Chains A and B, each alone.
Chain A
Amino acid sequence: MKVLVTAAFVVLAGAVRSEVLLSDDEIQQTLSFGPWPISLQSDPSNRVSSDTRAIALGAALFNDPVLSADSAFSCARCHDPEQAFTTSDARAFGRVLVDRNTPSLRNLAGLRWYGWGGKSDSLWAASLHPIIEEQEMAHSKESLKAAISESIYIDDFEAIFGDIQIQDPELVLVNTAKTLSAYLETLATGRTQFDDFRDALENQDLAAAANYPEAAQRGLQLFIGRGNCVFCHNGPRFSNNEFHDAGVPYFLSETEVDDGRFGGLNFLLSNAYTLDGNWSDDAEKQGAWVVRSVRRSHSDFGTFRTPSLRGVAETAPYMHDGSLIDLDAVIRHYSEIDTERLHADGEAILSELSLSEQEIADLTAFLESLSKVP
């Protein structure tokens, strides 16, 4: 009997139609979060971008331990395709426990910066660094060339890039990274309940828009209103892809800190794998203005890249160090934020929101609507 009553309640609740709660101005703001998916062009800095052979090879290499020096693990161990290309660990374990949470790899095509500290300005460079990073895959350029040469992928590699034996090891490294990048470009989150709502508003179909739960609508109103979330989480990806101090401690130990964007820029500006470098395949260097003109500031210290919120419900835990276990914890973090933890000379964006329990639940409902329906 109890089951029947519960079932009847669920059916009734599902049948109740919501209303569109948003003002005209809020509707206009909501439209800016789409349409989704966005149309993307091939990466001009990667000559195998969109190449089906490179995509297939990149996918195979991503899932094969050949890219780690001792064949101990593949990229997919930390970026698990079954877990939205991340894992539920707070911080990733490569060869050692690294300092940061593993970011999801979806919706990466066409970004201006990659990584929590933005140490790469292209997806192929972001794919390259983990291969040779000692704490991660730990290959040298030479050992990677040997590993690819002796692997089952050599024919596919040479079909795309030619005879590997006449390629300098660094070229093999870059070519390998570009196949990974070609694959990663194809990973994207699908449409969501929010996208249906947003498109219904654009089409002025209020009846269809009213299918979007009122709790999620109230959460959206907070997101673009009093919560000020939209300052950083804006556009169709829900990210401005820039760097901010979110009030999360950046001390790794009593004597070590994660310098975030500050270190990311130092790394970027001292390595050859940028859009302004010789390894870019784009003769016009279209994206190079970013690395040429990016400003450095001491307030970059401890700032981290704004993550996209698409698919966010599938990628717990959160923040650069994975210190917040779920969306509820993230919202409470911003609601009760300790502004004393923020840079004294940094941007003045965050303040204590003091959200009610209802508002926290509404914001959670909104954020969950940015993921696919299970």
Chain B
Amino acid sequence: MIRWVVWFLVSSGAAVACETAGQRMSSEIQNAPKVHVALDEIRLSQPFSILLTVCDDVAVSEVRVDAIMPAHQHGLNYAPKITALGDRVFRADNMLFHMPGLWELRVDTNFGRRSISYTSDVVLK
């Protein structure tokens, strides 16, 4: 009974977080744990942060964040800094988009030995 209650609290906590956790990221893997990304207004050539939330009740061992401009064949000039905030929420700082256009945000997440990639498109004017 106690185990069930703990599971319920963790599960409902994640569910609540995901309601306001931004847009869901895409993955080509079927039944991949849901990952949401929240980003504030992004200003061209100015650093910004994003918030990543893993919405399913799974252990996350590592999160890596990157971004590319597919049309221009280049990525970020600065390496994002990842901070685990707890409850499967992660913040990536030092993000900087130095050109307008379509950026593809990439998040690689390790769930134990299983690594899953997620993407999300961001258009910066």
Contacts and interface: CB of A to CB of B under 8 A. Distances in A.
Interface of A: 28-29, 32, 230-232, 234-235, 240-243, 289-290, 293-295, 346-349
Interface centre among B72, B76, B98, B101 (most CB of A within 10 A): B98
Nearest to A349: B72
A313 B63 CA distance: 48
B1 interface: no
Contact of B94 (A240, A243, A289): A289
Contact of A240 (B44, B71, B73, B76): B44
B43 to A, nearest CB: 9
Given A234-B44, A348-B71, A348-B72, A295 B100 contact: no
Given A234-B45, A234-B100, A347 B73 contact: yes
User: What 7 A-B pairs are tightest by C-beta distance, nearest first?
Assistant: A347-B74, A293-B78, A348-B73, A242-B98, A240-B98, A240-B45, A293-B79
Given A234-B100, A289-B94, A348-B72, A295 B78 contact: yes
Contacts of A348: 71-73
Contact of B45 (A241, A289, A294, A347): A241
A293 B100 CA distance: 21
Interface in B80-98: 80-81, 93-94, 98
A295 B101 contact: no
Nearest to B70: A348
A242 B69 CA distance: 15
Contact of B100 (A230, A290, A294): A230
A29 B79 CA distance: 28
Contacts of B78: 289-290, 293-295
Interface string B20-58: 000000000000000000000000110100000000000
B3 interface: no
20 contacts: A230-B100, A231-B72, A231-B101, A232-B99, A234-B44, A234-B99, A235-B44, A240-B45, A242-B77, A243-B77, A289-B93, A289-B94, A290-B78, A293-B78, A293-B94, A294-B79, A346-B73, A346-B74, A348-B72, A348-B73
B114 interface: no
A230 B44 CA distance: 11
B125 interface: yes
A309 to B, nearest CB: 15
A28 B79 CA distance: 30
Contacts of A294: 77-79
Nearest to A347: B74
Contacts of A234: 44-45, 99-100
Report the interface size class on chain B: 20 to 34
Instruction: With a 10 A CB-CB cut-off, give which of A32, A243, A289 has the most chain B CB atoms.
Output: A289
B44 A32 contact: yes
Contacts of A241: 45
A241 B44 CA distance: 11
B19 to A, nearest CB: 31
A240 B44 CA distance: 8
Given A347-B69, A347-B74, 9 more contacts: A29-B125, A32-B125, A230-B100, A242-B45, A242-B77, A293-B94, A294-B78, A295-B77, A295-B78
A290 B78 CA distance: 7
A139 to B, nearest CB: 33
Contacts of B100: 230-231, 234
Nearest to B45: A240
A327 B72 CA distance: 25
A231 B99 contact: yes
Contacts of B77: 242-243, 294-295
Contacts of B44: 32, 234-235, 240
A289 B46 CA distance: 12
Contacts of A29: 125
Interface string B87-125: 000000110001111000000000000000000000001
